[in-house]
Amino acid sequence: MENYRKRALELLPELKVLNQYIYDNPELGYEEHLSSKAHIELLENHGFEMELSPLGMETAYVARFRGEKPGLTMAYLAEYDALPGIGHGCGHNLLGTTSIGAALVLKDYVKENGGTVVLFGTPAEETSGAKVAFADEGYFEGVDLAICPHPSDYYFSSGKSLALVPIAFTFTGKTAHAASDPQSGINALDALLLTFNNINALREHIRPSARIHGIVKEGGLAANVVPDRAVGEFYVRTMTLDYMEELLEKVINCAKAGALATGCTMEYEHYEAIYHNMVTNESLSEHYNNVLKEMGIEVCPPRESFGSLDMGNVSQVCPAINPYFGISEHEIPGHTVEFRDATLTDLAMEGMVNTIVAMVKTMVDCNEKPELMASIKEEFDNRKR
């Protein structure tokens, strides 16, 4: 491992400049023009073959370096979008820089020993998640392993996330004067309110890990007019895709019942990307954690999470992990100014180097140990959706 650490430290000045630049130029999802350009220029300078604007996403990229000998196709994922107002409060400046560092170090191994290293530049993690499009369009077909690291206060194992289906219900009724002629109207807002009530009644009978939350997007324009249009937007979250199919049908029935009771018509659509649940490959995760432990780093169990990640879509199509690395000596909540600023500290640089070493050593071991790769693949083939 020391040769990987030595190479990471050689690259550290270059990586620190990149990390600082992305920090200083925060950009929202699909607007990361400066950030993606900085990534691309660095990767091109190190001999990577670049695919620019894949799938029409201007700020996405795919970087590849193929060795002359056969071997695994090993993928890292980079994020670089910021949050409104506070910039890189989720640390994506450091996340992307870490994945680039790992790709550069692994490239040296691949050049001598074979295999392929792929780095996916994935914009808009905080909103619509470019990893979803990459997964849906087959970019991970043929990828043997994928790792996406994430900065945190401490080191945490890769865990789970909930599948998420965004669904919008549009109810159409008929306008009428709400005081002088209400009997001639069909109230679309009532249909939506009944949908909320029906969903609330459903909550008692859903699995404890499931979540349903929604808002009234449109509900009428004037109090004295029976609204003929109402729109509600909902997120439905479940621990597995199999249960999502069951629960989503029940939620749709809640909306159908609201429409039936009021005489409205109802249509629904998925208004944002659908996130699949994160299925951590435990064989891969255990090996990654053991590498960190060999370095004297304590790894905490996964944090309980009821959020959703676009990395989940990747985990459904190839063995994947989403581990967290420490950049602080005390707890710091994410999406804060404090966390943003912690990404520039010496501890953050130490965490980045440790993570680069672990990411590279894990991939190298998988490439060189067929029995390890066999256990990872067997687990993936038998995973629960």
pLDDT given for residue 134 in this prediction = 98
Confidence band of 306 (pLDDT split at 50, 70, 90): confident
Structural domains of the chain in order of their starting residue, each with its CATH number:
2-161+276-381 (3.40.630.10), 163-269 (3.30.70.360)
Beta strands in 211-323 (DSSP E): 211-218, 229-238, 265-269, 320-321
Cite the DSSP H helix spans in 166-262.
188-202, 241-262
Token pair for residue 102? Answer: 């790992």
Mean pLDDT of 47-64: 98
Q: Which residues does residue 83 pair with via DSSP β-bridges, in sequence order?
A: 87
Coil, helix or strand for 304?
coil
82: phi then psi, degrees, rounded to nearest 5: -110, 180
- Of 61, 157, 160, residue with least CA distance to 358: 157
Q: In what order do the strands lie in the sheet with 265-269?
A: 211-218, 229-238, 163-172, 265-269
φ and ψ at residue 6, rounded to 5 degrees = -60, -45
pLDDT at residue number 311 = 97
* pLDDT value for 304: 79
Closest CA to 308 of 176, 165, 180: 165
Q: What phi and psi values does residue 214 have, to the nearest 5 degrees? A: -155, 170
Mean per-residue pLDDT, 36-58? 98
**Model confidence pLDDT, tens digit, residues 314-351:** 999 999 999 999 999 999 999 999 999 999 999 999 99
Indicate if the pLDDT at residue 280 is higher than 70. yes
Averaged pLDDT, 8-15: 98
pLDDT of residue 233 exceeding 90 = yes
pLDDT at 384 over 80: no
Identify the band that residue 18 occupies on the pLDDT scale cut at 50, 70 and 90.
very high
Paired with 166 in beta bridges are 235
Angstrom distances, CA of residue 210 to CA of 163, 199, 270, 341: 9, 12, 18, 34
CA distance 340 to 153: 11
Q: Is 81 helix (H, G, I), strand (E, B) or coil?
A: coil
Spatial separation of the C-alpha atoms in residues 259 and 336, rounded to whole Å: 42
25 phi, psi to nearest 5 deg: -130, 65
Whole-number Cα distances in Å, 19 to 85, 88, 101, 223, 290: 19, 11, 11, 52, 27
DSSP character for 303? P
pLDDT value of residue 1: 82
Strands (E), 88-200: 116-121, 145-147, 150-152, 163-172
What is the 8-class DSSP label of residue 174? B
Mean pLDDT of the chain: 97
| Structure token pair of residue 312 | 């989940």
3-class secondary-structure state, position 374: helix
Does the pLDDT of residue 385 top 70, yes or no?
no
Distance CA 210, CA 240 (A): 9
Give yes or no for residue 21 having a pLDDT over 90. yes
pLDDT at residue number 383: 81
